[in-house]
Amino acid sequence: MIMRQAACLLLETAMEGCNFTRTSVTLIQKLALDAMKIALNSAALIEISPRLFYTLVGFSLLYTFVSLVFFAAPLMKIQRRVLAVEADLRYVLVRLREHAESVAFFRGYQYERECSETVLDHVIWSSYKFAAIELVYKMITGVVQAGFGLMPMLVIAPMYFKGTVSFGTIQQSQLLFQTLLSGMMDLGKELNDIAKLGAESVRVKDGVEIVTHVRLAKIGGETSVEDRN
């Protein structure tokens, strides 16, 4: 029984390790593309208006800080909770399948049903909490992006009326600004993947520690048997 549980735990840890690796590679790829996008467009925007560029950088840093502190941490915590209760639900279902005859013989189906429904409720409510925080974050992000998108007009329009830039420069600055804004805010947009990455890393670490503990316990038991012989 212990070996079966260890095997299930090892399989679950391996699956979470695969998800962790996939999420890490995807996140690194997206961040690398964003870095290239920022590097290619920054010089052009600085040439048009250094003030606009530095305003964008300051806003992006503030936005990233707020996203990581006030949204990433709660999402990561809830994501760990979601993974934990999902694992509990899988354990309950596997246990019911393995002991279905005993449950039916002792007529414990009502108790097992209540336990399963309780665990399922935890899964549903944890998912609801995660979705609620993510919804609030996306709403705030949409409002901020829509409002901050007017910044090029506020900075470049006075320069146009003074005759220092042409009318086409306004559209060019808006295009560059939106491109850079999208690249600099992508770290916040990947908040869901960051939360999953943090939660999966903790789960993988815990799984490896448990499997190592079981392996050491098995080795210790075999050594004790050999000593007795």
Cα(61)–Cα(71) distance, integer angstroms: 15
Cα(25)–Cα(207) distance, integer angstroms: 21
**pLDDT 10s digits, 68-119:** 788 777 877 887 788 778 878 888 888 888 888 887 877 788 888 888 888 8
Q: According to the model, what pLDDT value does residue 153 have?
A: 80
Residue 166 — left, alpha, or beta (φ > 0 → left; ψ -120 to 50 → alpha)?
Answer: beta
Q: How many CB atoms lie within 10 A of CB 207?
A: 20
Closest to 90 measured CA to CA, from 10, 9, 19: 9
pLDDT greater than 50 at residue 2: no
CA distance readout (Å), 17 to 23, 24, 94, 203: 10, 10, 21, 9
All domains of the chain in start order, with CATH: 2-228 (1.20.1560.10)
CA distance readout (Å), 201 to 23, 126, 130, 167, 186: 11, 19, 18, 51, 21
Our CA dihedral for 34, 25, 126, 65, rounded to 10 degrees, sits at -40
Mean pLDDT of 39-59: 82
166 in helix, strand or coil? coil
pLDDT greater than 50 at residue 131: yes
To the question of pTM greater than 0.75 for the whole model, the response is no
pLDDT band at 199 (very low <50, low <70, confident <90, very high): low
